[in-house]
């Protein structure tokens, strides 16, 4: 379960950001997780509950916004949301000349600190 290492890295980043901003605690962490990021949001939340104990994030709430896969088609020059798990074909024109432009990332959007 690589969510443990993801949470560990997330907490390290949050602690550094809090330190850089002279904050004594982190109250909320806002993440964006793409459905193709390879991170399971439910497992991440569970790991966060265990790993935050004793850290500057101990009282923090974790907010996760899930992002669907968005494709860009080189053939029709349109962007569209992928249909189901078909990430290799444009849902508009059927071309296989597509690239994922959203939905494969995990981003730390915002920290609320005091």
Residue 52, CA atoms < 13 Å, CB-side half-sphere:
20
Do the annotations mark residue 2 as ligand-binding? yes
Q: Where are the beta strands (DSSP E) in 14-96?
A: 26-34, 61-67, 70-73, 79-81
Do the annotations mark residue 57 as ligand-binding? no
Q: Which of 19, 18, 110, 12 is nearest to 61 (CA)?
A: 110
Q: Which of 35, 36, 50, 55 is nearest to 4 (CA)?
A: 50
Q: Where does 36-99 have alpha helices with state H?
A: 41-51
Do the annotations mark residue 76 as ligand-binding? yes
Task: List residues forming the annotated binding site for Ni(2+).
Answer: 2
Task: List residues forming the annotated binding site for Zn(2+).
Answer: 73, 76, 90, 93
Task: List residues forming the annotated binding site.
Answer: 2, 73, 76, 90, 93
């Amino acid at each position: 379960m690589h969510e443990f290492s993801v949470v560990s890295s997330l907490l390290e980043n949050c602690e550094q950001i809090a330190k850089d901003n002279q904050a004594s605690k982190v109250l909320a962490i806002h993440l964006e997780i793409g459905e193709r990021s390879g991170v399971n949001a439910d497992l991440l939340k569970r790991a966060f509950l265990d790993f935050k104990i004793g850290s500057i994030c101990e009282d923090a709430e974790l907010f996760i916004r899930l992002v669907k896969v968005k494709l860009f088609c080189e053939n029709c020059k349109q962007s569209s949301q992928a249909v189901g798990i078909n990430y290799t074909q444009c849902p508009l024109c059927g071309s296989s000349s597509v690239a994922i432009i959203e939905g494969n990332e995990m981003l730390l959007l915002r920290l609320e600190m005091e």
